[in-house]
Amino acid sequence: MRDKTMLAAVFEGQGKLSVKEVPVPAIREPDEVLLRVDAASICGTDVHILEVPPGHPATPGAILGHEYTGTVLETGSAVQGLEIGDRVVIDPNLTCGKCQYCRSGMPNMCQSMTTLGIFINGGFAKYNVAPASALHKISKDVPPDVAALAEPLSCVVNGTQKVRAQPGESVVVLGAGPIGLLFTQVFAAAGAGRIVVSEITKARAEAAARSGAHAVLDPREPGFVQRALNETGGGADVVVDAVGTLLPTALDLVRRGGKVLLFGMNQQAAPAVRQNTITRYEISVLGTYIAKYTFAPAIRVLESGAVNADALITHRVSIPNILEGLHAMRSGEAVKVIVTPD
């Protein structure tokens, strides 16, 4: 007999996350799918949601967890292309398909977007219901821990497609959290000539080296900017801010005519912008937000084994112990924390 209740990590507002019993969700619409969650991962966004004041909005009462993978248990009457037992990864960003941005090929700019695991119930639980349109099949040969990386990897692939770094070009990645490490691995796989990573914590600096960085620098040390410039021959072709507050530093490190990619987000941050520097040196500053038709290539990368998951995953916790995983993320002790239902 299927469970009637399950443990879930529920956002209560004002920095509070509660682990409690909630009803198992049921299919209510013909296009929905009931999943058994096999693995989820804690994202930096989850950490920002639980900050006071919050660095990212979320709905009180929602089950968090937007990076997850699961197995199909039941399908609605209108679902096609999915069978019971299929392994899937979830694109948590649900778009309307009708607004001007969705209709012009920019679904990541949807005016009515909502997100599983942030605004509606997500993957920090044993079961989840999601629309079939959000699900992408992935080989069962990919371990659940690795499959849970599909969502952040799809976002990174979107960013790398924007900067179009060429083989041999130099890259600086600011921040060696999970996103920074995935950028490092993707750029390394694409043939970047020199990759420099900036990171302050020991565990993440070591992970950057394992991910393919040629040099890992502590930005707190005197002479950091000059050392980074020396490492890249006077300035990087591409600088990625994976933190969300480091545009001024990125402008210090990019070459004339280079590109700055802004990935990290923090709604409390308001760094000063040196517009004259951008204009005078023809620097391209690009924002990138979530995935945009990039789940398929991300899945291919995971299925190929090109991602070194061991360089990212440092901790594993169950739902009852999820607060320990969040603490490890906040402290910098963890790089990527995998969450399992039991």
66 is catalytic: no
DSSP state of 60: T
280 three-class SS: helix
Residue recorded with tokens 């490492």: 231
Helical segments of the chain, H only: 44-49, 100-103, 144-147, 150-163, 178-189, 202-210, 224-231, 247-253, 275-280, 295-304, 322-331
Neighbours of 55 (CB within 10 A): 18
Q: Is 83 exposed, middle or buried (0-12, 13-18, 19+ CB in 10 A)?
A: exposed
- For residues 4 and 79, give the distance between their C-alpha atoms in angstroms, rounded to a whole number: 24
| Active-site pick, 5, 45, 214, 327 | 45
Cα dihedral 25, 30, 34, 40, rounded to 10, equals -90
Closest CA to 231 of 190, 194, 205, 258: 194
| Active-site pick, 48, 66, 214, 315 | 48
- For residues 38 and 83, give the distance between their C-alpha atoms in angstroms, rounded to a whole number: 16
User: At residue 86, what is the residue type?
Assistant: D
327 is catalytic: no
- For residues 320 and 331, give the distance between their C-alpha atoms in angstroms, rounded to a whole number: 20
**Catalytic positions, written as ranges:** 45, 48
